[in-house]
Amino acid sequence: MTHAQTQAESRFDRGQRALSRIDGSAGEKVIASLADIAPDFARYVIEFPFGDIYCRPGLGLRDREIATVAALTALGNAAPQLKVHIEAGLNVGLSRDEIVEIMMQMAVYAGFPAALNGLFAAKEVFAAHDAKAVPSS
Amino acid sequence: MTHAQTQAESRFDRGQRALSRIDGSAGEKVIASLADIAPDFARYVIEFPFGDIYCRPGLGLRDREIATVAALTALGNAAPQLKVHIEAGLNVGLSRDEIVEIMMQMAVYAGFPAALNGLFAAKEVFAAHDAKAVPSS
Amino acid sequence: MTHAQTQAESRFDRGQRALSRIDGSAGEKVIASLADIAPDFARYVIEFPFGDIYCRPGLGLRDREIATVAALTALGNAAPQLKVHIEAGLNVGLSRDEIVEIMMQMAVYAGFPAALNGLFAAKEVFAAHDAKAVPSS
Amino acid sequence: MTHAQTQAESRFDRGQRALSRIDGSAGEKVIASLADIAPDFARYVIEFPFGDIYCRPGLGLRDREIATVAALTALGNAAPQLKVHIEAGLNVGLSRDEIVEIMMQMAVYAGFPAALNGLFAAKEVFAAHDAKAVPSS
Amino acid sequence: MTHAQTQAESRFDRGQRALSRIDGSAGEKVIASLADIAPDFARYVIEFPFGDIYCRPGLGLRDREIATVAALTALGNAAPQLKVHIEAGLNVGLSRDEIVEIMMQMAVYAGFPAALNGLFAAKEVFAAHDAKAVPSS
Amino acid sequence: MTHAQTQAESRFDRGQRALSRIDGSAGEKVIASLADIAPDFARYVIEFPFGDIYCRPGLGLRDREIATVAALTALGNAAPQLKVHIEAGLNVGLSRDEIVEIMMQMAVYAGFPAALNGLFAAKEVFAAHDAKAVPSS
């Protein structure tokens, strides 16, 4: 393997490891769903947000997910991505209560409807989590 | 003083302490500027965001400012309030580099222009800080 | 009952009366749906928007709902809350035609898609109203 | 003059009368400022918002300005147009206090920063009004 | 038929021809769905966007749909209208790949979630197209 | 020079050539202004939007600038970046009249204030262009 391939792979690979670690299977589903419409965009999602940004050492993953959950709740126009990042928040160490606190705080900056819709998204994600956690026996 | 007054004051007073602690003189300027146009709104700003939300124990002030700086950068339509909260972030323990990381990350969720405008706001706030820190001798 | 309790209760109680009067059962459903995820936020919704803002004497409820329906239609990212407030508009004296006028006007300030989505939300709310009004015999 | 011209003129003329009545000299300045960049757009501004929408009988001008001031405050990205419509609100019968009430209410639906920026815009418009009202002697 | 009627009809008729040519049956469905809630707004949709704007000679229809698809993807709060205009883009000469390029580019200006939601809307529209194109034999 | 360096450089270099070609000196000023606050972000701006997206062969630069000018006008919260891209539009072959057409069309999708603010930004950029074009003799 040439050095060039190592380099090229490492940005993508680093991104894929970060995506797995942070978004888990929800992130992989997003990538898979791009395969037949915009495979290059799947690569960009892995390389730029995850390979470049989330891997930077200057801010921890828990802090980064606080920022993302807050921003997506405030913007209020990306419900599917918000759910992925509520999940991601849980994956990197935010508690359910902390996620709820972030959303309540967004009432101050983006209005009560944005906060309410964030809370209802969280409720859905938490319920799905609980459903998965129930033993099958 | 009656109990009722104590209660009534405590929500307002608790908010004022939080506002002072978090936003410092920038927050006090906002409150003062409301005196002749909407004094009741000055009271609401102190009571709800600061007396109710920021004082809740479930999330630390540093985490709360990550959320606020992220949201205001992403929304991109409240430059004066973003500057107040960049200042607030510094007040409650975020480093300049951490604030810059939050803004760069917002490129992913709200686009590069939102991130750029956040970074330029941070640059202004940091410069004003440095100017104040310079000894007059 | 102490004076303090009276004071504390009156803000919440005043809010609950206002919420009932304005949003009717739709508002109560929102509050109920918060019980298991963010009960404190249910209280804030009652206390701040309804106990503090809607109860202020400076603007009538019909005027307030014009403002809310216009804003939620223009923002375009809070469909469930818009429907609650179309209902609320009817409850406080706006006619269906007046609500339709507000939405058409939003085409000017937020674009035709925002106006269209507002009109379709109104259509849904009006149809649900008509369905409830049909006698069961 | 043919009937066709009458019809053609009446939509434009009706709009110009409405623009004058509602926005006053502020509206005329906007139209004038379009003359060298997009004169056709000046015509559309007169014909569609003012000739078509504001002239509709189903909602009074005071109600229409409540809707517009609320929407522009909530959107938060059109400060010059918000100022024109604060002025317009005064022209069609809203009191300063009512305009302030609308803006405070927007804290609920679009966040405190949007409400604050609306209040500061109102403060500026009211001050300009007072300056003009001072006798020159 | 008087001259006035000719004029009056020509703006509406020109708009209806443009709407048919650009949005096809999707546009007609939108108009039909307004009939019982806001028939005047159906007329405005035909007259202003289509009769006035899309018919202007200064920019071709393919260019106009690039602008519309980009704007609706970036705004991210008008999914039904975005789908109509993805369809419209195909009708006036944009290829599927070009539409996908526009959406990927929106990641830069409005964030990755806006781009993703645009791509998923395109995927749906393309799939519906393919389903219709399948011969029934 | 190793292959890896070639690869690494080519993404950055390709981006820098695209940035120069599209945004001209306005783009270089943005990059320079990031040097002391977020130099890594300057690199990302060059690499992702310009090195990855604008260089893709599937859509021409003129088409890409139609999309960007439309999106930034519609979003309405990034005036400095909109001006850079009005300039960019002129650089890659859009005429002033075509840029004006794009902005007028945005009235349909994002409201008249967004269109007006876009037109006033264009007026400023065009005037600056004319000022530069005046011979010094």
pLDDT digits (tens, 9 = 90+) for E37-55: 999 999 999 999 999 999 9
Short-list B112, C130, A59, CA closest to F19: B112
Which residues in chain A have their CB less than 8 angstroms from residue C41's CB? Answer: 100, 104, 107, 115-116, 119
Contact B103/A at CB under 8 A: no
Nearest to A78 among E76, E104, E122 (CB): E76
Residue type, E131: A
Mean pLDDT by 10 residues, chain B (137 residues): 51 95 92 96 97 97 98 96 97 98 98 98 96 70
Nearest to C72 among A77, A113, A126 (CB): A113
The answer on pLDDT for E6 being more than 70 is no
Of chain C, the percentage scoring pLDDT greater than 90 comes to 85
Residues 6+ apart with CB under 8 A from D80: F113, F116, F117
- The beta-carbon contacts of E38-42 under 8 Å, at least 24 apart in sequence, are E38/C100, E38/C103, E38/C104, E38/C119, E40/C104, E40/D56, E41/C100, E41/C104, E41/C107, E41/C115, E41/C116, E41/C119
Buried/exposed A94-114: b ≥16 CB within 10 Å, e otherwise: bebebbbbbbbbbbbbbbbbb
Contact D32/F at CB under 8 A: no
Contact A80/E at CB under 8 A: yes
The vertex-D62 CA angle with C126 and D49, nearest 5°, equals: 75
Asked if B74 lies within 8 A of A75 by C-beta distance, the reply is yes
Chains that touch B (3 or more CB pairs under 8 A): A, C, D, E, F
User: Quick one: pLDDT at residue F56?
Assistant: 97
By C-alpha distance, the chain C residue nearest A117 is C78
Give the DSSP H/E element, type plus range, for residue D56: none
Residues 6+ apart with CB under 8 A from F86: F69, F99, F121, F122, F125
The answer on pLDDT for F5 being more than 50 is no
Domain ranges within chain E, ordered by starting residue: 1-58, 60-137
- Please give the CATH superfamily to which domain B60-137 belongs: AhpD-like (1.20.1290.10)
- Measure the CA–CA gap between C77 and C46, rounded to whole angstroms: 22
Residues 56-75, chain A: which have Cβ within 8 Å of E? Answer: 72, 75
Q: Are E54 and E61 in contact (CB under 8 A)?
A: yes
Contact E113/F at CB under 8 A: no
Q: Band of the pLDDT at C86, cuts 50, 70, 90? A: very high
| Threshold 0.80, pTM exceeds | yes
What is the rounded average pLDDT of the residues D24-47? 95
Residues 6+ apart with CB under 8 A from A41: A34, E100, E103, E104, E107, E115, E116, E119
Asked if D68 lies within 8 A of C109 by C-beta distance, the reply is yes
Short-list B126, B59, B113, C108, CA closest to F75: B113
Interface test with C, best of A102, A116, A120, A125 (most C CBs within 10 A): A116
Q: Band of the pLDDT at A136, cuts 50, 70, 90? A: low
Structure tokens at B133: 């820190």
- Measure the CA–CA gap between F86 and F100, rounded to whole angstroms: 10
User: What's the sign of the alpha-carbon dihedral D44, D16, E31, C110?
Assistant: positive
pLDDT digit string, tens, across residues D63-111: 999 999 999 999 999 999 999 999 999 999 999 999 999 999 999 999 9
Q: How far is E50 from chain C (nearest CA, A)?
A: 12
Q: Are D91 and B6 in contact (CB under 8 A)?
A: no
Chains that touch A (3 or more CB pairs under 8 A): B, C, D, E, F
Residue with tokens 């949709």: E45
Q: Tell me if ipTM is over 0.90.
A: yes
Asked if F122 lies within 8 A of D37 by C-beta distance, the reply is yes
pLDDT digit string, tens, across residues F65-98: 999 999 999 999 999 999 999 999 999 999 999 9
- Measure the CA–CA gap between A61 and A59, rounded to whole angstroms: 7
Q: How far is D102 from chain A (nearest CA, A)?
A: 14
Asked if A115 lies within 8 A of C72 by C-beta distance, the reply is no
3-state percent helix, strand, coil for chain D, nearest multiple of 5: 80, 0, 20
Interface test with E, best of F68, F81, F82 (most E CBs within 10 A): F68
Q: Band of the pLDDT at C133, cuts 50, 70, 90? A: confident
Chains that touch F (3 or more CB pairs under 8 A): A, B, C, D, E
Q: Band of the pLDDT at C48, cuts 50, 70, 90? A: very high
User: Quick one: pLDDT at residue B133?
Assistant: 79
Short-list E105, B75, F20, F34, CA closest to C77: B75
Contact E112/D at CB under 8 A: no
Which residues in chain D have their CB less than 8 angstroms from residue E8's CB? Answer: 7
